[in-house]
Structure 1
Amino acid sequence: MTERIKEIHAESGGNYGSPRVHAVLKREGTRVGRKRVERLMREADIAGVSPRRKGFTRRDPKAALAPDLVERDFTASATNRLWATDLTVIPAGEGPLWLSAIRNAFSRRVVAWETSARADADLVLTTLEYALASREVEPGQLIHHADHGCQYTSIKLTTRLMQARIDAFMGFVGDSYDNALAENLW
């Protein structure tokens, strides 16, 4: 069991903690308790990146970098090959309104957008679902670029991206050059 946990953790680039490792094992049909996964990870000195720490978008220096799927080239050779997504807050009289949008790098047009009073995984997942419903996406041909925000690293979103056979790429954390290139699409 510990060896499989190590494999899952390594495949995540060192990001997955016990909840995500447990979710992967469960999805694979392995019957194991969440607390057992926590204990085995602790005993093997394996830890994920916690989104609750101050500066939650900082990368664990011991973790391997995820592969750079776009090589800092935020252009696309055809439609629905590269989507960039982000969240922004809009101040409103009744409280903050969060806007989630996905933009096609080829046409530079917004593919889908959604608003909510909460910046959570459901908001970005709903936006993705609208984008997939409105576009014909070839499985294995699309890269979904986001930052390391907890909404984009959620189990809900990453599972849906895997189901749709969409490659996820998260920009280099704290790299203002990478962020500027991606945000240039906006």
Structure 2
Amino acid sequence: MQLDPKEIFTAFMVLFAVIDIIGNIPIIIDLRKKAGHIQSEKASLIAGVIMVVFLFVGQSLLSLIGIDVNSFAVAGAFILFFIALEMILGITLYKDDEEGSITASVFPLAFPLIAGPGSLTTLLSLRAEFQTQNIIIAIIINVIFIYLVLKTSARIERFIGKNGISIIRKVFGVILLAIAVKLFATNIKAMLI
């Protein structure tokens, strides 16, 4: 077992950029308003478990059900696209019949927002380059950051204010839309080649 701080740091930074938990603060605040409360521990833990499990069985699982990584990423791009539309236009496309924070903690927060197609496909790419134990440590560090942001999102909202949140929400909506389009374009091109 070879722990490499450079590999851990690189894997952490790549995952941190893809997960973009800081950029997702407006979505988290919006989900908290809809659900009333988000179970930060549960959402972080579920996202971490999904990522670790996918690291080991992702490629095999997708192959088993006849889905390639590119198709998986394209499906994820659609989900991100609709979340971005909600943020930019101020409309609600996703409606949940069940009231409560358990559903909000799992969907769409833990999956697909945190442990989404972007982070899951990134994990498959990292596995080809880095040692598995280094990637797992990078996932754990990311989960700690995710937990801290989820726990303090209400304080962040108070600090920024209602208008600030509205502006940030629209800006990050456009960024999320751009990520969705890029994810779609890159993977649809790979599927067609």
The two structures share one fold, judged by TM-score above 0.5: no
Determine which structure has the larger strand proportion and give its number. 1
Report the TM-score when normalising by structure 1: 0.27
Whichever structure has more helix as a proportion of its residues is 2
Higher relative contact order (CA 8 A, sep 6+): 2
TM-score, normalization by structure 2? 0.27
